[in-house]
Structure 1
């Protein structure tokens, strides 16, 4: 349940006896969805002196997507309207096995119980299972947004990734979703629909989109290297050849600046192409091009 709350970016308060327990618990929650990254805000040790104190304690608007760790008993009253609250008891002596933490419904409590437990009305989408993250990571739809490699032309800009359409993705789940093969039972469709609206999905998708875009740029660069560029220049004007050299130099700068996933020999091959093209040009142009675009 806690994994789902963090995954979906739900507002969560951790009430602990000490700053160290508060901080360790918040960081454990943030990291529990790894390898996905938590993209919302989190405060391992939040106090009444923090600038967002008024924003987080107000009842006039819904709590934001944030995980707070607190120790001040004052928060038991000012944050009791938050939908999900974890109360941590004192640490047990070494060797003593703690009792299982109970989940208590907030709607049945007028004020927060002082006992350790998870206070929430949240109903998990899925049953508990250690393999769930592996299942969630099998994302075929996003990979399908990548253009086919045969559509990459060295003489055109790299093709764009297809747009992510939530409803189109949800339709693919009906036929290929994890609910068909996973032993984990529950509302998989509901979990995905909720996850798509969370900051964690937005952050993950932006990262994934950047990786795929860089891959397209790398494939485009490799396609250029496979062409006989010197032969191409013989069929085109000096102006077009100079323009090509400048574009190729920009490609090299981009590969270095953005750390594109390009093989070292591909970069060397492109440099060799550039040198060969420049040497085939008149001397006055050679001097200009050798100094241009590499700073």
Structure 2
């Protein structure tokens, strides 16, 4: 792989936890690193071009023969695909075998992977790997993976063998079940591409929490440069950690005792103190019935986490879809109605903020607003303000680009059928 020395160092440092928060044991986590000079990275999906994803198995155990007193080593699987459900599972299988038996296990794993068919959106693959047969559903772009749409039998699901490739092993519910009430605020922060710092007690929790937040606004594609796990050794550290206003991004440093000053207006999520620190006042109402149901299920210990995670994710998918209703309604008015069989292909009308706001006022939103906004007399319309902020952020530009491309493809398809 044609990685520069800087890129190689970034991968090595990021795959090695820089905070000794546990004495012995294994950690499985994922990283996202810039690899702009690598043809392998650039050949990935357009939205992910220039990045590589690393899936890490890190082992630490006491060893008096080593100067530091510990054996510490990481095995990293690199890919151009953000398959945070599939590849962590692979590395969790390979890691222990590799450290026990050495190079032959690595060669066997590579031979297995080399025989796999090429990935294809939405396809179900049977992937043999080190004596196991994994059934894997690959994601479709801008379409959330949910149990309701998967071909797997929900009542007989085997999460270790039947995998939705875009979902982390534990996920949103597992990492946020103690602070469920904060998720609606986090949804707004992610929706508006606000910079967020996630701090956690270990890289596994940190990386899964970050990718779960990136997924929370699905099917809106997140525009930011997020880092599931981030260390001070990363060459981009100084560009993130400074006195300037931070870029729209979400990343997760590990160091528990350090509070990096990522600009002056960052939102900080300290998972080890169970809370979110931010100056933003949320607009969207929490679903109290959902919170109650999930809380009771947590205490009861049933149904299993993967079912509760699906329920929670589906709620935010529905919330994001409700948010998109006015945008999709207005966007359809930009698509030409008549498609001539000959001559120039008609172009979409430009998106005009004032016209969208007029449409929003006329038809209204479908969002569940907090009761304080419904009762108080204020000159500020919270719904209008939320959409206004969204139209100014990178997530809107990414969504509009994706929506435009899809509409143009549909126009060409209609024209070819005439």
- With structure 2 as the length reference, what TM-score do the two structures score? 0.44
Q: Which has the higher Rg, Structure 1 or Structure 2?
A: 1
Question: How many correspondences in the alignment?
Answer: 193
Pairing partner for 2:385 from 181, 185, 190 = 190
Listed as ranges, the gaps of 5+ residues in structure 1 are 90-114, 224-295
C-alpha distance in 2 between matches for 1:204 and 1:74:
37
After superposition, the Cα gap between the structure-2 partners of 1:55 and 1:209, relative to the gap in structure 1 and judged at 3 Å, is same
Higher strand share goes to which structure? Answer: 2
Q: Which runs of 4+ in 1 moved over 3 A?
A: 77-82, 182-186
| Residue 77 (structure 1) shift | 4.3
The CA RMSD measured in Å over matched residues stands at 1.8
Listed as ranges, the gaps of 5+ residues in structure 2 are 1-184, 288-314, 374-381
Q: Is the CA contact (8 Å cut-off) linking 2:246 and 2:262 kept in structure 1?
A: no
Aligned to 1:266: none
C-alpha distance in 1 between matches for 2:340 and 2:261:
60
Are 2:237 and 1:53 aligned?
Answer: yes
* Secondary structure, counterpart of 1:210 in structure 2: helix
* Secondary structure, counterpart of 1:29 in structure 2: helix
* Secondary structure, counterpart of 1:69 in structure 2: strand
* Secondary structure, counterpart of 1:64 in structure 2: coil
C-alpha distance in 2 between matches for 1:190 and 1:27:
27
Are 2:224 and 1:40 aligned?
Answer: yes
C-alpha distance in 2 between matches for 1:37 and 1:134:
13
* Secondary structure, counterpart of 1:215 in structure 2: helix
Aligned to 1:281: none
Are 2:188 and 1:4 aligned?
Answer: yes
C-alpha distance in 2 between matches for 1:43 and 1:75:
17
Q: Is the CA contact (8 Å cut-off) linking 2:242 and 2:263 kept in structure 1?
A: no
Are 2:359 and 1:172 aligned?
Answer: yes
Aligned to 1:117: 275
Q: Is the CA contact (8 Å cut-off) linking 1:132 and 1:184 kept in structure 2?
A: no
C-alpha distance in 1 between matches for 2:263 and 2:343:
58
Q: Is the CA contact (8 Å cut-off) linking 2:226 and 2:250 kept in structure 1?
A: yes
* Secondary structure, counterpart of 1:132 in structure 2: helix
| Residue 134 (structure 1) shift | 3.0
Q: Is the CA contact (8 Å cut-off) linking 1:13 and 1:82 kept in structure 2?
A: no
Aligned to 1:144: 333
- With structure 1 as the length reference, what TM-score do the two structures score? 0.62
What CA deviation, in whole Å up to 9, does each residue of 1:202-224 have, x standing for no partner?
Answer: 1111011001011111111112x
* Secondary structure, counterpart of 1:85 in structure 2: strand
RCO comparison, higher one (Cα < 8 Å, 6+): 1
What CA deviation, in whole Å up to 9, does each residue of 1:164-192 have, x standing for no partner?
Answer: 0111101111111216xx55445211111
After superposition, the Cα gap between the structure-2 partners of 1:43 and 1:77, relative to the gap in structure 1 and judged at 3 Å, is closer
Aligned to 1:105: none
Higher helix share goes to which structure? Answer: 1
| Residue 120 (structure 1) shift | 0.8
Pairing partner for 2:399 from 194, 199, 204 = 204
* Secondary structure, counterpart of 2:276 in structure 1: strand
